[in-house]
Each structure stands twice: as C-alpha cells, then as structure tokens.
Amino acid sequence: MNAVGVDVGGTKIAVGLVTPEGKILGEVRYPTPSSQQKLVDTIARAVSEVEDGSEVGGACLAVPGLILAQENKVVFSPNLRCVEGIPLKDELEPKIGMPLTIENDGNAAAWGEFRFGVGSEADHLVFITLGTGIGGGIITHGILMRGAQGSGGELGHVTIQATGPRCACGNHGCLEALASGTAIGRRARELAIEHPDSALGRLAASRKVLGEDVTELAREGNEVALSVLKEAGTWLGVGLAGFINVFNPEVVAVGGGVMEAGELLLEPARREVMLRARPPSSELAEVKAATLGAKSGVLGAAALARDASSGEYVLGG
Ligand SMILES: [Zn+2]
C-alpha cells in the first residue's frame, strides 16, 4: 500500500505520497513555520493535500533532532527549536486520519538510501548527510539501529577533536563542527582574513562567505577554497574510519547539500579512511556518494511508515 513520507527541515517541509517500489506519486512543499501550532497545521494540510482521497497505509514524520520514540516526541532540536516537546503523534493523528510514526531525519534518509538508493544491495550501511548540520543513520543486518530510546545514530555528534570548535549541540569538536556546511563556511571566513588577496578573501570583504561559496570557488581552482574542502574532507574521513571500525559496513554513503563538492570532499575522506580504518573492515567498506539527493528523507519516511503498518517496525524504548 502507498504511504506518506514527511520530511521536516529547518527551512521547508516536503511531503510525498510514495509507492512500495519507491516512486513518488505526488509531492507538496511548504516553508517551515516558526510556531508550534502553525507547524502542526501545515503538516496536517500538506498530508491531506498529497493523499488526495487515495488509500494510504500510514505516515512517518522525519524530524531533525533527538527523539524519544515511545513518546513520539522530539526532545532536542538545535536547528528547529519549535518542534521540541510537541506530542506530534497525539496532535497529528486525528487531523490526518492515519497511523503516524516519528523518526529522526538522518535515520529516515538512511532508510531511504538503504531501500531505494546507494545501499539497496547492502545489508550493512552507514549513511551520513552533510548539510547545515550533520545527520546519519546506521543499518545493520537490514535493521535500522535506533538504540534504547530511538535517539541513536547521531553520527554528527561524535567527538573528533576534543578541543575543537564549538558545535550547535553545545559540545566541542563534534564531526558536525568540523565537516558540516556551517563548519566549512566558518573555516573559510577564518582563512579569508589570512588571505585577503585571494578570490575567497575578496568575496569575504563584500559579504558573509557560506559553505556553498567555498565549493563554487574550489571548482574554479581557488587554492584557499580547495584547502578548506580538503581539511573538511579529512575530518570527515577521521569520522568515517571510526564508523567503519565500529560497524563493519559494506557501504558508507555520504549525502546532503555539501556533497555538491563531491570528490573534493570524498577523496581526502577516503585517504584518511585508508590510514585509520582497520582491515578487514577497511577493505570491504566502499565510501560512495548517496544517490537519492534531497528525496531520501521523504522516500525513507514513507518506507518506514509502511514497515510500521506491517508490524516490522521496532520502536526504541
Ligand atoms: Zn555536536
């Protein structure tokens, strides 16, 4: 049966009606409201628009932040504060008229890549998404690893450099603080001060440099921008090597908007993986770009909603 996947992001909400084979039959998008009541109303409206009277088995909401699965609640979301503490299942189920589950957005995207994307041939997948922050998800033996409460798989908040830059979560030196789009922008602004005559330095003199500017300048061959991506890719590789040692995956998939930089990030990451991950895990694991792009969240959430209605879904807690 078809299912609805809802991907709640910091700036937009994407809702899709998805077939069991992973085809999106219809999709709507809305800007993410900043108040709790408007957020709930917007999600409910988007779900009813996309289902449009067709038979739907259930819906799953992919949300950024730490989740308490048994309470179907987001307890900590530094990049989307208004979603914290809402009893989402209780509020939304009566409005949308179908069973609803809540999942961390990184976990949902991982499930999307596992079912329909770069991990569809694997039983063991580590997925990491590089955006404003860093999310991720782990699949072992074909099962999404949620942990005891449903808040596991936070790959972006593994400490990589104990005395490193402060992270949005409050810790120092998380992978997110070293290899996210935010981290790339921050590092580029630091280096722009040291290299005022470079293209990066000249851009920084006119406006705030962001992560995507670095990719664009690097593509044009700017040495300083290239060095920023190489550094971020190296930190990424430090993180991935640890995940490979711990989880022994067949595939490590890297997605998210920052992957516009492609091999400029993955090449230094792979080099670091070769130095730090141990065989046989390092010989098996392939570090690849994710293939579903921004659709992984909607596709993964819909697949999780279907698995929940078929009883295959194991909630944490
Ligand atoms: Zn953190």
Burial 24-57 (b: 16+ CB within 10 A, else e): beebeebebeeebeebbebbbbbbbebbeeeebb
Distance (angstroms) between ligand 1 centre and the Cα of 85 equals: 20
Distance (angstroms) between ligand 1 centre and the Cα of 167 equals: 5
Strands 286-289 and 251-255: parallel
Q: Do 65 and 83 meet the contact criterion of CB atoms below 8 Å apart? A: yes
Distance (angstroms) between ligand 1 centre and the Cα of 95 equals: 34
Nearest to 57 by CA among 112, 115, 100: 100
Distance (angstroms) between ligand 1 centre and the Cα of 310 equals: 35
Q: Do 207 and 213 meet the contact criterion of CB atoms below 8 Å apart? A: no
Distance (angstroms) between ligand 1 centre and the Cα of 290 equals: 23
Distance (angstroms) between ligand 1 centre and the Cα of 90 equals: 30
Q: Do 160 and 173 meet the contact criterion of CB atoms below 8 Å apart? A: yes
Q: Do 93 and 100 meet the contact criterion of CB atoms below 8 Å apart? A: yes
Helix, strand, or coil (residue 39): helix
Distance (angstroms) between ligand 1 centre and the Cα of 313 equals: 28
Termini Cα distance of the chain: 27
Residue 70, pLDDT score: 79
Nearest-angstrom CA–CA distance, 111 and 233: 24
Distance (angstroms) between ligand 1 centre and the Cα of 178 equals: 10
pTM: 0.93
Nearest to 146 by CA among 108, 114, 112: 108
- In the block, tokens 């596991």 appear at 152
Helix, strand, or coil (residue 84): strand
Distance (angstroms) between ligand 1 centre and the Cα of 128 equals: 14
Sorted by where each starts, the structural domains of the chain and their CATH numbers stand as 2-104+294-309 (3.30.420.40), 118-291 (3.30.420.40)
Q: Which residues are near ligand 1, the ion (C-beta closer than 5 Å)?
A: 157, 167, 169, 171, 174, 176
Residue 14 has pLDDT above 60, yes or no: yes
Residue 10, pLDDT score: 85
Reported confidence tier of residue 65, pLDDT bands at 50, 70, 90 = confident
Reported confidence tier of residue 97, pLDDT bands at 50, 70, 90 = very high
Q: In what order do the strands lie in the sheet with 134-140?
A: 143-144, 134-140, 125-130, 251-255, 286-289
Nearest to 124 by CA among 106, 138, 104: 138
- In the block, tokens 């979301």 appear at 77
Distance (angstroms) between ligand 1 centre and the Cα of 11 equals: 20
Reported confidence tier of residue 109, pLDDT bands at 50, 70, 90 = very high
What is the arithmetic mean of pLDDT over 272-290? Answer: 98
Q: Do 155 and 135 meet the contact criterion of CB atoms below 8 Å apart? A: yes
Reported confidence tier of residue 137, pLDDT bands at 50, 70, 90 = very high
Residue 312, pLDDT score: 54
Residue 121 has pLDDT above 60, yes or no: yes
Helix, strand, or coil (residue 217): helix
Nearest-angstrom CA–CA distance, 221 and 273: 25
Reported confidence tier of residue 31, pLDDT bands at 50, 70, 90 = very high
Nearest-angstrom CA–CA distance, 100 and 44: 11
Reported confidence tier of residue 68, pLDDT bands at 50, 70, 90 = confident
Residue 316, pLDDT score: 46
For residues 205, 208, 210, 216, the Cα torsion angle rounded to the nearest 10 degrees is -40
Distance (angstroms) between ligand 1 centre and the Cα of 267 equals: 24
Structure tokens at 7: 């991907």
Nearest-angstrom CA–CA distance, 181 and 183: 5
Distance (angstroms) between ligand 1 centre and the Cα of 246 equals: 19
Nearest-angstrom CA–CA distance, 108 and 7: 9
Distance (angstroms) between ligand 1 centre and the Cα of 78 equals: 10
Distance (angstroms) between ligand 1 centre and the Cα of 69 equals: 21
Nearest to 20 by CA among 312, 311, 297, 305: 305
What is the arithmetic mean of pLDDT over 144-154? Answer: 91
Distance (angstroms) between ligand 1 centre and the Cα of 227 equals: 23
DSSP for residue 293: G
